[in-house]
Amino acid sequence: MPRLFVTTRSGEVVEIHGESGSSLMEILHGNDSGIAAICGGLCSCGTCHVYIATDWLDKLPGRQQLELELLRELEYYKERNSRLSCQIELNDDLDGLSLTVAPHE
């Protein structure tokens, strides 16, 4: 199972093993990583916000218009690293992916 290195809001780095095919949101949510993900993955609430480590950005599919719209609404949006974790599906190529949970809005 691919591994994720998640920097939580308290600054701690935790290693999480996720199932390929699951969204990052589902994995983070299942591991109590502090994301609310209130809409449950519909790309409609902006509460599963994470920062992807710069080295990994190129390995991810690009942001769709809807995701970008939601991200731009957020106070802690970072143009380069911000993603909604519900829009990223984990796969074996992403083994070792490093990300940070964005601050609470």
Partner 1 sequence: MVLRNAWYAAEASSVLVNNLHGVRILGEDVLLYRKKDGEVAALEDACPHRKVPLSLGKRCGDFVECAYHGLTFDASGSCVRAPGTGSVAKRARVHSYPVAERYGLIWVWMGDTALADPHAIFHVDNWGDPEWGCTPIDSMVVACNYLYITDNLLDPTHVAWVHPTSFGDLACAETPLRSVVLPSGVAVSRWMLDVEVAPFYAKFVKFTGNADRQQYYEVRFPSHAVIRAVFAPAGMGGPEGRHCPDTFLMDSYNFMTPVDEHTTRYFWFQMRNFAPGDEQVSASFATSVRAAFEEDKRVLEAVHKGMQYSRTPHIDLPSDAGPTRFRRRLAELIRAEETVLSVGSGNALSADTA
| Of 45 and 60, CB closest to partner 1 | 45
| Of 25 and 97, CB closest to partner 1 | 25
What is the contact mask toward partner 1 in residues 10 to 29, using x (rule: CB under 8 A)? --------------------
From the list 11, 15, 88, the residue with the least C-alpha distance to 2 is: 15
SS3 70: helix
Provide CB contacts within 8 A for 76, sequence distance 6+: 49, 82, 102, 103, 105
Q: How many residues bind partner 1 (CB under 8 A)?
A: 15
- Euclidean distance between CA atoms 83 and 85, whole angstroms: 6
Please, what is the minimum distance in Å from the beta carbon of residue 63 to partner 1? 16
Contact set with partner 1 (CB under 8 A): 36, 38-40, 42, 44-47, 69-70, 73-75, 105
